[in-house]
Structure 1
Amino acid sequence: MNGQILHGGDLISASARYNIPQDQWLDLSTGINPDSYPVGELATEVFQRLPYQQQVFADAVTGYYGTDEWLAVNGSQPVIQALPLCLEKLPVLLPDVGYDEHRHHWAANGNPLAFYPAFDLNAASDQIERRLSKGEPFHLVVINPNNPTGLEFSKVQLCNWAERLAGKGCLIVDEAFIDTQPAISVLNEPLSDKLIVLRSFGKFFGLAGLRLGFVFASDQLRSQLQQRLGIWQVNGVAQGVATNALSDLDWQRGARQDITLNAERTALLLAPLMDALQPDRVAQTPLFSSWQLDADIAAQVQDLLAQQGVLVRLIPLSERKALLRTGIISRYNWDAIDRLDGAVNACIELLNHQGEAHV
């Protein structure tokens, strides 16, 4: 495949590369709930007034997350960028595979970086324990569950690590994909001053375009972040929609069930392709799955699917290995089901044909 790697949700680049209009793509390159929260009508005031934080919004956020130690932000991305500038400049231990913006911004700030394995829970835990046993201050970054490897630590383990970090070291836990299983969130435990938690609104509620996220941290750090990020981080429309969505317990319960069933239907549709490819590893979470493959084969499969108007995410791991990450479709979207089924069959046929041509 020629050109730069396509990032999740980048239908503009995909459309230009494959000459397929944006509205004709089936986008499986993100981990966003395909059955989004129904926005409905909003009061005119949310469009007219300056977006100072409304009390009903604050009440809904505190009710959903179970704590009032939060700061609402324009998605978690601004916090990922700002944290290295707000915390003590210490070495950082990160997953060797994960949401790469964490690595990028710590590196840009000049923090020394080290990595733990993101595919093996025991190996990752052992390496973190060894680093803690040295008694030297460092920051620890955990993506829980990890995007894209699916690695998941227990909240008890994470809280234990946070308490044991030396000096001004902090544990940053990115819980962007945890809303499908909220019981494992560290927010269910008392929030330590050494613990910083990032949460994303758009993935579970299927409304990534609102750009809404939250950071949970000490009063001092939240104040630093607020000063650095500035006022009006969250617009009035986002506050209005989130107030309704975070308070709608019935929808949330139904969404968790629907996501599970949608993931099962998507996996069933992709199963013939997985059987043909025989990936080295498979990671499955409610909102996305990842397959580890030979790098050339992974790129070829992404390209073949894209030619059919189905976009999946290619994540290079090394010169020899890569991941294909796929989101989920709605089991009620019959057009998406038919298109994915057809694309999978066409991809398998093309792979078989190319294999025969090389015999």
Structure 2
Amino acid sequence: MSEARIWHGGDLDEARQLFPQAPEPWIDLSTGINPIAYPTPALPAFSFERLPSPTDHRDLEEAAAEAYAAQSVANVVAAPGTQILISLLPTLWPRSRIAVLGPTYAEHAHAWRGAGHEVAEVSSLDEIGGADILVLVNPNNPDGRTLERAVLLEEAGRLRRRGGWLVVDEAFADFDAGETLVPVLPDNAIVLRSFGKTYGLAGIRLGFAIASESMAMRLRTMLGPWAVSGPALAIGRQALRDREWRQAAGTARAGDAVRLDALLEPVADRPLRGTSLYRLLESRRAPDLFVHLGHRGIWVRRFQHDSELLRFGMPGTEAAWKRIVDALGTFAVTQKA
């Protein structure tokens, strides 16, 4: 029997199938992608017409090393999105025991299991036992749980003593980067960083692995030449060096998170959780709210493992904020009726 389809955010085709009468345009809050994208520069024609050069590729990795505070550019590997890295990592080891700290982004366990590894999805670090490889997301998706750097270093040390590895997905760390492992990266750890989520440019497909030089070389070899497109190289290196934009965007999204929490709190059964790019609502009324919002053209992220959870990304315009305020207001009225 094939494994059940993994639900992801951003699938407006599904939204339109479920709610065919919903008003357009849809407001897609189902992803954790920055709704206000980095302003893409005008690109020269040759970035589309020629194969990317090794110099351009290295320049991108140097920009990423600077942005993420990596120890060396030799530790940074550019890839066409972090998803391809999630799929590649399980092929680097023979059949092993994998602990995935969850609930979290489902593609991690799916990828390791699909490559033939023994996968246990655990709810705490106390449950990892004798796992050979520990995989976790920090900050976690979808609840925003953050593990301190000292805890990660301790776990890496434990794993090293038995020849094990630590894989940390920091896809949402750019705006909440206090505990990033990158500057003090152990030699048995691999960190993944996403470009598209922070910069609102998921469509250009760009992400990075940060690892020891030997592991980085293995990943580069597996990705092969020209792994990143010319347009992605050009946009990525400019954006990654634009610290002022990143800082301003992080401040703005943190403010949006506070604003969204205030709107969702009346529906919540527990305090809102998450990061600057998404908020997680836990409520016994979540299934009804999902349908209510869908009929009004607002698409939010639901979860296979828990029907009482909904994840909300940040609205990108004042018009979107108004539609959300209006929809939540009418939902409150229907709940009182």
> When the two structures are superposed, what TM-score results if normalisation uses the length of structure 2?
0.90
Aligned-CA RMSD value: 2.1
Distance 2:319 2:16 in 1: 19
Residue 325 of structure 1 pairs with residue 330 of structure 2: no
The Cα shift of 1:76 comes to 0.6
Distance 1:5 1:138 in 2: 25
- Runs of 4+ aligned structure 1 residues displaced above 4 Å come to 20-23
Paired letter, 1:207? L
Shift of 1:21: 7.8
* Counterpart residue number, 2:51: 50
Provide closer, same or farther for how the CA distance between residues 260 and 235 of structure 1 changes in structure 2, counting only shifts above 3 A: same
1:209 corresponds to which of 199, 203, 216: 203
Question: Would you say 1:305 and 2:311 are equivalent positions?
Answer: no
The yes-or-no answer on 1:62 pairing with 2:65 is: yes
Aligned mate of 2:82, from 76, 83, 93: 76
Instruction: State the distance in 1 between where 2:261 and 2:93 align.
Output: 41
Identical amino acids, percent of aligned pairs? 33
Cα distance per residue 1:77-120 (max 9 Å; x no partner): 11111111112422111123100000111111222222332xxx
Q: Does 1:33 align with 2:34?
A: yes
**Counterparts of 1:152-191 in structure 2 under 5 Å?**
152-165=146-159, 166-189=161-184, 191=185
Q: Is the 8 A contact 1:36 1:205 kept in 2?
A: yes
Structure 1 CA distance, aligned partners of 2:40 and 2:243? 15
Q: 1:111 aligns with which of 114, 117, 130?
A: 117
Work out whether 1:253 is the aligned partner of 2:241: no
Change (3 A) 1:307 1:23: closer
Are the equivalent residues in 2 in contact too, given 1:33–1:203 (CA < 8 A)? yes
2:335 pairs with 1:341: no
Provide the TM-score with structure 1 as the length reference. 0.85
Summarize the Cα distance change of 1:185–1:219 in structure 2 as closer, same or farther, 3 Å threshold.
Answer: same
* Amino acid corresponding to residue 249 of structure 2 in structure 1: A
SS at match of 2:303: strand
CA distance in 2, matches of 1:164, 1:22: 53
Corresponding pairs, count: 327
CA distance in 2, matches of 1:109, 1:299: 34
Q: Is the 8 A contact 1:137 1:168 kept in 2?
A: no
1:6 and 1:13 in contact (8 A); partners too? no
Which whole-Å CA distance do the structure 1 matches of 2:271 and 2:113 have between them? 29
Q: Which amino acid aligns with 2:40?
A: V
Unaligned runs of 5+ in 1: 118-123, 354-359
Q: State how far apart, in whole Å, the 2-side matches of 1:303 and 1:21 are.
A: 11
Equivalent pair of 1:29/1:326 in contact (CA under 8 Å) = yes
State the Cα deviation string for residues 288-325 of structure 1 (Å, max 9, x = none): 1112234xx4222211101000111001325xx53111
Q: 2:311 corresponds to which letter in structure 1?
A: R
Residue number in structure 1 paired with 2:189: 195
